[in-house]
Amino acid sequence: MRLMRRRGVWATDLVALILGFAMFGTFLLVPDILQLPEATGYGFGRSVTAAGLFLLPTVLMLVLCAPLAGALVRRCGAELPMVLGTALVTIGFVVPAIAHGALWQIVASGVIVGAGIGTAFAAMSNAIIANVPAAQTGESIGVNTIARTIGSSVGTAVIAAVLSSQAGAQGLPTDQSFTTACWLCAGVAGLSVLAALAPPRAGAPRRNPAGAGQPAAHARAH
């Protein structure tokens, strides 16, 4: 827990927490609106399988952008790809918040969010490595993963509550509820941009901050 005092650590964990919230916003909102009946005027009447296939662009961008972010981290450090990734996630939710009446808007949102998440998640691990002793890298990344999981759990519950709180006469989420949920995810993702700017500026990732790369006994001796 002492490592949480480091700005580079707590800020990166905060980014993970917030992006976990936003990531599951996509996985919850996209299938829901795609499966709603066309008779609602805003649903697309797709099957469960078809709705799931619309998540493929998000997952593909997540996978493709992670190694690209790694190359960017090696060139200029973790801060830039983290800021870039969180900004993309924010933009990705602004798109359907403004309009989600066409399939291309749903797909575009998923592509942008996937690119942002892949970029930011790849940078987060490097940010942790650059700010903790080598011997504590594993536990620090584990805490970062826990933060992301907590964000995902909270996001799922909050977004589901927003959708159900504005249900129509038939118990279905209204068009306004989807707009509200998208703006909520965009606002939360915007906070992650601020969190991504908090870690101290640094160059390429370093394994041994403050002499931490020395063997434990040798470090104590000094």
Q: What is the DSSP string of 10-65?
A: HHHHHHHHHHHHHHHHHHHHHHHHHHS-GGGSS-----HHHHHHTTHHHHHHHHHH
Question: Which of the pair, 94 or 26, is modelled with greater confidence?
Answer: 94
Query: Between 138 and 216, where is the model more confident?
Result: 138
Checking if the pLDDT of 217 tops 60, the result is: no
| Strand partners of residue 167 | 173
pLDDT computed for residue 211 by the predictor: 42
Residue with tokens 């709180």: 165
Domains and CATH numbers, the chain: 2-199 (1.20.1250.20)
Burial of 160 from C-beta contacts in 10 A (0-12 / 13-18 / 19+): middle
- Measured CA to CA, the distance from residue 51 to residue 34 in angstroms comes to 6
pLDDT in tens, 5-54: 777 788 888 888 988 888 888 888 898 999 988 888 888 989 999 988 98
Fill in the amino acid letter for 217: A
E strand or H helix at 107:
helix 103-131
Identify any residues that bridge with 137 across adjacent strands, giving them in sequence order.
none
Q: Would you place residue 113 in the very low, low, confident or very high pLDDT band (cuts 50, 70, 90)?
A: very high
Position 118, amino acid = G
- Which whole number is the average pLDDT over 134-162? 86
Per-residue pLDDT of 75-88, as tens digits, reads 888 888 889 999 99
C-alpha to C-alpha distance for 209 and 200, rounded to whole angstroms: 12
